[in-house]
Amino acid sequence: MLLTPLAPLGQQRVACDTTAGPFTVLLNESLSPLGVMRVTDLVKSGFMEGQLLYRVIPGLLVQFGVAADPAVTARWQGRARRIADEPNKMPFLHGTLSFAGAGVNSRTSHLFVALSPNGMRLGRGTPHESTLGHVVEGMETFERVVANYRRSGYKDTGSLQRALRTKGNAAAAGFPLLDRIRACRLAARR
């Protein structure tokens, strides 16, 4: 089952606090109505709170989107929770927010923020990668996330994704230096 948009098109701010600092994303429904609706639903439900910024690839992306509690993640995963792909209407920039996925119509809750220089190559020919909006405040937070990751000496923490889905943040006990999202909230709608 694929979800369809119900809300009128507009912009929505999402303000997040992380262990590396705050950031604000300006979501744009005209770019991805289904995607923006899903992100706002995730934020309203509290899904983002406590989740790890578990995949850090300097110069490419910072990924998140697995709840701290596996029971919460399970409510947002699976075929019935997928949303349809939408064409990418804007080239990726430093700070673009997009869904990560595993192929056609696979978007659920996994998100990433693109980083320069290589993140600008994303969103081309990958159906689940489309611009949802952009980080408009706090890009330095992602610079700190990358710096913290480099200092940690961790290698390929993207492999944590499967274990996080089934065990929650407990799966990352061996990675105590990963940054995490403390909380996100919807800010003023435009």
Domain boundaries, the chain: 14-169+179-189
Q: How far is CA 120 from CA 9, 45, 79, 114, in A?
A: 25, 30, 29, 7
SS3 187: strand
Spatial contact of 8 and 20, defined as CB atoms under 8 Å apart: no
Alpha helices in the chain (DSSP H): 33-45, 70-76, 139-152, 161-167
Cα–Cα distance measured from residue 65 to residue 111, given in angstroms and rounded to the nearest whole number: 5
User: Which two structure tokens, joined as six digits, stand for 52?
Assistant: 């790890």
pTM of the predicted model as reported, rounded to 2 decimal places: 0.92
Hey, which CATH number is domain 14-169+179-189, 2.40.100.10, 2.40.160.40, 2.60.98.20, 2.40.50.140?
A: 2.40.100.10
User: Which two structure tokens, joined as six digits, stand for 74?
Assistant: 């399970």
Spatial contact of 42 and 12, defined as CB atoms under 8 Å apart: no
User: Which two structure tokens, joined as six digits, stand for 178?
Assistant: 């990963």
**pLDDT by 10s per residue, the chain, length 190:** 344 344 446 899 999 999 999 999 999 999 999 999 999 999 999 999 999 999 999 999 999 999 999 999 999 988 889 999 999 999 999 999 999 988 899 999 999 999 999 999 998 888 889 999 999 999 999 999 999 999 999 988 988 999 999 999 999 999 999 999 999 999 866 5
